[in-house]
Structure 1
């Protein structure tokens, strides 16, 4: 069987180290630097000829630099005659742009998928793609892992009264994700619907929230795949409390949490806790903005996916357990 080499880009070294430790394989050497004109260069520091190569690179705040870094690493391994190249992208960059939102806008997620394929990737491992249609953007096989089993286990172990709680979607688009977690935990689900008043923009103040479901006297879990701008979820949490919910937890896979999002969560009395996974790097500076943040480690799921991929085993097991 081919030997394995695991490389890590500079986007999320903490997660890459956790994955490598779980596999018992040290990260292979690679160097990255920028020229004075800001062009980036990558150098692979070991032979990869005919080997099974895995490159770990998540989306991050420096999304464009990290994406270019990934493309160069893939191409460098391809040119060095790697046997197979798998890109491990815990958070797929540009995934929120997975469809046309305006007449003359780009589908950026599809473009990124095509770029990765052209660079030389043979296989992609990612987690909780923003839209299910995104798997069709790739010309190579994609394994879209789920954070749901890990999140469900956290809720069952840490929140004793979860069974009488309610899983809540903050909009219609997230209903499928919410019902899936609710079914796994055998909980009820609800929907917060934002109604425009007079054809206004849904983000403006002259819109109102309507709860579909019963949360009175129950703990609530507002669930989404990506948590970035938190204004909407804070409003939803306040509305749930006004509907007599006892406590509100904010739950998501990818904690992008741009700008002062965590500061807003800390200031929102309606939110008791924000739970995210470590697919996306959260700086120490951001973590200090709130005492409510809980980060779940999914390195075990990603490491097992790498191990099973290398050994030619099925990874469907990972969709049900964590």
Structure 2
């Protein structure tokens, strides 16, 4: 390409070599160094006057150094009278911090976009932003490419029975990405969600939770006194009500013995049902079995639930609450039952007060209700603002947090494709894989992601998981060569062809819409 220069940062030189090879372009010469105190120094050694400059710099494990280095390179090229400066950032730094999670939090992704604008960038090319709405942070044009066509092509080429597979999202936030791939491949999709459920004993003694507040304590005491004082009066009121209904019904029958014409009603006229039967037909179910049967839905049979302990699924025969959980929640069960009104409802329907413990499915709803007061302490109370992958990973590893997992979708005897934009920690991936295999009955699990960050021992933990068949990522984020060679399940897809074509089309003013399409 004439009148164009491609410069490489220090984050991913191998990717830049692949881009230049496909474009038949030589890399622009630049000297990148550091002073003794850690300051970054950049010197452009090629004339860039009135030329289109492309600087390829992806995020890496040294993300702060890479970001500052990119900003200095942009400023240096701007000072060198470049015609335009395009930042090619396959993995955009700080893309996970694109929203305010607390009142004193920072929207760091917007700050990075502002820094690029101040440095002098005129165009940004990236791949699979964590949130596509981030494009509104930039004051320049943004090309947010997708790796979905590359992943779909690999699936069709390397998986024999891919037509029978199910595309599954490991959290609720990735449903749009999953449905997009499922529509492209014409496959079914499902969702795996995890729900944090704190122990009841912690909430009842937590001063910051609703269950442990003084207001709720007074409310509970008031309900207890009301139920104790009104237990004897309720039976007498019920007798009076039944008696009054019987008298009214009897008077009505006596007044209606004859028709308006003075003739007796025909003998085959059905008798009026007793008042007690009429009363019972208008009321709710009288037993717990009838109550549970009323809310049974046939579609709910496709929803599979399970329990996670330390991030691993528990077998069905082991899915009983641990003694510590039972002890912590024993004192809380009657109180929560009275708060919800279940205890009084059960007593009114003929049940004894001692046997008025709620069933397991209703108790789980009580747990989630009390835990939501503390977990949804975010701006606006919206769960999407507070739910992050980092918090999910912490909950999976926390022994004091009971995590419930839910699988929506039929995956039995089918391969499963777990999809997300990045793999940083292994907890949620292992939990989702074990859920679809051990509870859903899936045959194999393939993990797909655009950015393979693999923090800490993530790759080793995914490698040791027996439920995971393959791990497929792209080279948008630099992966250590030795770590990749030790893994038997890791497959890395090359995105140099995608980026080089985007650069070429951008240089010659061509449309890039073809890069978003799927080809057989």
- TM-score interval (norm. to shorter): over 0.9
- Alpha carbons of 1:83 and 1:303: their partners in 2 closer, same or farther (altered >3 Å)? same
Q: Match for 2:476 among 264, 267, 279? A: 279
- Give CA deviations for 1:174-207 in whole Å, capped at 9, x if unaligned: 0000000000011100000212323277524501
More strand by share: 1
Question: How far has the Cα of 1:105 moved from its partner?
Answer: 1.0
- SS of equivalent to 1:77: helix
1:295 aligns with 2:492: yes
1:48 aligns with 2:245: no
- SS of equivalent to 2:69: helix
2:30–2:42 CA contact under 8 A, matched in 1: yes
**Distance between the aligned counterparts of 1:111 and 1:228, measured in 2?**
23
**Distance between the aligned counterparts of 1:291 and 1:98, measured in 2?**
34
**Distance between the aligned counterparts of 2:487 and 2:168, measured in 1?**
23
Structure 2 residue runs of 5 or longer lacking an equivalent are: 198-366, 376-390
**Distance between the aligned counterparts of 1:157 and 1:288, measured in 2?**
22
1:320 aligns with 2:491: no
Partner of 2:419: 223
**Distance between the aligned counterparts of 2:129 and 2:444, measured in 1?**
28
**Distance between the aligned counterparts of 2:518 and 2:45, measured in 1?**
36
**Distance between the aligned counterparts of 1:321 and 1:92, measured in 2?**
24
1:249 aligns with 2:435: no
- Name which structure has the greater RCO, CA cutoff 8 Å, separation 6+: 2
Partner of 1:36: 36
Structure 1 residue runs of 5 or longer lacking an equivalent are: none
**Distance between the aligned counterparts of 2:20 and 2:117, measured in 1?**
24
Number of residue-to-residue matches in the alignment: 322
**Distance between the aligned counterparts of 2:178 and 2:106, measured in 1?**
28
- Give CA deviations for 1:56-101 in whole Å, capped at 9, x if unaligned: 0000001000001100110000000000000000010110111112
2:184–2:518 CA contact under 8 A, matched in 1: no
1:239 aligns with 2:428: no
1:264 aligns with 2:461: yes
- Give CA deviations for 1:267-306 in whole Å, capped at 9, x if unaligned: 1111111000110000023214421000001111100000
**Distance between the aligned counterparts of 1:279 and 1:163, measured in 2?**
28
- SS of equivalent to 2:469: strand
Structure 1 vs Structure 2 CA RMSD? 1.3
Question: How far has the Cα of 1:2 moved from its partner?
Answer: 6.1
- Alpha carbons of 1:194 and 1:63: their partners in 2 closer, same or farther (altered >3 Å)? same
**Distance between the aligned counterparts of 2:133 and 2:174, measured in 1?**
15
Instruction: Provide runs of 4+ in structure 1 moved above 4 Å.
Output: none
Q: Match for 1:305 among 478, 502, 517? A: 502
**Distance between the aligned counterparts of 2:195 and 2:38, measured in 1?**
46
More helix by share: 2
- SS of equivalent to 2:161: helix
- SS of equivalent to 2:109: helix
Q: In terms of Rg, which structure is larger?
A: 2
**Distance between the aligned counterparts of 2:53 and 2:485, measured in 1?**
36
